[in-house]
């Protein structure tokens, strides 16, 4: 199924729902290895994203994603706001004026988002950040022309839980050093929710189309 303006909105609505439902979990994860604000940051940001989507109509996916980026940069705060914001900004720029995206084009856009996170945060794979979901996940699916969304969802879940065993080298959790081991990274969890929302939206679209 191609991503359209309408399904992009469904994706973001689902992400908002999951962030609100998991707000306390994200906060608890950040309490363990950071400063306990990740749930609050993301919840506030997504509430604002929903307001942006309600207040304006977007003709292209690129414009929509850029609008989301500006809201995230302005409203999320913390380390994660600029990181997610840059990711969406680069994705929006890559997508441009398109009204539909194939799986391949969507993967290319997500890859741009991943590169933006790495450029801004300078984290590598294995340093216990959201990069540990984005990078290996997009690498796993880089050769796919048609994504099996159930597989992607399962893979994203694996990458997220995999951050539990890692020793943090970037972000606030790095101050804990080895004591960060044994806890899932909060940004990896919110990134999982982003990919899970996308996968579920795409699967629902495929079912509706036959
Ligand atoms: P803050 O750390 O400023 O309190 P948040 O709690 O909202 O911000 O977000 C924390 C999450 O941000 C971490 O769990 C991690 O996934 C992500 N993060 C922090 N620093 C980096 C970085 N340099 N590169 C990639 N991700 C990072
Ligand atoms: Mg925090």
Span 99-130, pLDDT tens digits:
899 999 999 999 999 999 999 999 999 999 99
State if residue 92 touches ligand 1 by the CB under 6 angstroms criterion.
Answer: no
pLDDT at 1: 84
Tokens found for residue 209: 């189309």
What are residue 141's DSSP bridge partners? none
pLDDT at 157: 98
Mean of pLDDT values over 198-204: 97
Tokens found for residue 172: 């606030």
CA of 111 to the centre of ligand 1 (A): 19
The DSSP secondary structure of 49-61, one letter per residue, reads: HHHHHHH---SSH
Inform me whether the pLDDT recorded for 210 exceeds 60.
Answer: no
Find out whether 14 and 37 touch, Cβ atoms under 8 Å: no
Cα 174 from Cα 106, distance rounded (Å): 32
CA of 34 to the centre of ligand 2 (A): 5
Inform me whether the pLDDT recorded for 181 exceeds 90.
Answer: yes
- Of all ligands present, the nearest one to the C-alpha of 85 is 1
- Of all ligands present, the nearest one to the C-alpha of 81 is 1
Mean of pLDDT values over 11-29: 98
Instruction: Report which protein residue has its CA nearest ligand 1's atom 12.
Output: 80
| Top mutation candidate among 38, 81, 171 for ligand 1, by most atoms within 8 Å of CB | 171
State if residue 39 touches ligand 1 by the CB under 6 angstroms criterion.
Answer: no
State if residue 175 touches ligand 1 by the CB under 6 angstroms criterion.
Answer: no
Rounded to the nearest 10 degrees, how much is the dihedral formed by the CA atoms of 165, 25, 158, 86?
A: -100
CA of 186 to the centre of ligand 1 (A): 8
Mean of pLDDT values over 16-30: 98
Listed as own residue / partner, the contacts of 132-135 with beta carbons closer than 8 Å and 24 or more positions apart are 132/159, 132/162, 132/163, 132/166, 132/185, 132/188, 133/159, 133/160, 133/163, 133/188, 133/191, 133/192, 133/195, 134/87, 134/110, 134/191
pLDDT at 153: 98
Mean of pLDDT values over 186-204: 98
State if residue 23 touches ligand 1 by the CB under 6 angstroms criterion.
Answer: no
Q: What is the DSSP letter of 163?
A: G
pLDDT at 206: 85
pLDDT grade, residue 201 (50/70/90)? very high
At 207 the three-state DSSP class reads: helix
pLDDT at 208: 81
- Contacts of residue 31, defined as CB under 8 A and 6 or more positions apart, other chains included, come to none
Instruction: Report which protein residue has its CA nearest ligand 1's atom 9.
Output: 80
Span 57-107, pLDDT tens digits:
999 999 999 999 999 999 998 999 999 999 999 999 999 999 899 999 999
Instruction: Report which protein residue has its CA nearest ligand 1's atom 13.
Output: 187
Round the CA-based radius of gyration of the chain to a whole number and report it.
16
State if residue 129 touches ligand 1 by the CB under 6 angstroms criterion.
Answer: yes
* Residue ranges covered by each domain of the chain: 3-204
Span 144-178, pLDDT tens digits:
999 999 999 999 999 999 999 999 999 999 999 99
> Is CATH 1.25.40.340 correct for 3-204?
yes
């Amino acid at each position: 199924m191609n991503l359209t303006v309408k399904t992009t909105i469904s994706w973001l609505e689902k992400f908002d729902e999951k962030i609100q439902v998991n707000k306390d979990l994200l906060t608890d994860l950040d309490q363990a290895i950071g400063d306990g604000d990740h749930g609050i940051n993301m919840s506030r940001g997504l509430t604002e994203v929903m307001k942006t989507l309600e207040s304006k109509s977007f003709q292209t996916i690129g414009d929509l994603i850029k609008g989301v980026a500006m809201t995230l940069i302005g409203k999320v705060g913390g380390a994660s706001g600029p990181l997610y914001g840059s990711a969406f900004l680069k994705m929006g720029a890559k997508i441009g004026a398109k009204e539909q995206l194939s799986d391949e084009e969507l993967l290319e856009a997500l890859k741009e988002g991943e590169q933006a996170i790495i450029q801004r945060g300078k984290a590598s794979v294995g340093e216990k950040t959201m990069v540990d979901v984005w990078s290996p996940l997009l690498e796993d699916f880089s050769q796919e022309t048609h994504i099996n969304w159930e597989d992607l969802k399962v893979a994203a879940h694996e990458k997220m839980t995999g951050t539990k065993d890692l020793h943090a080298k970037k972000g606030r959790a790095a101050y804990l050093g080895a004591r960060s081991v044994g806890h899932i990274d909060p940004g990896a969890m919110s990134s999982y929710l982003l990919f899970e929302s996308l996968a579920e939206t795409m699967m629902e679209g495929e079912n509706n189309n036959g």
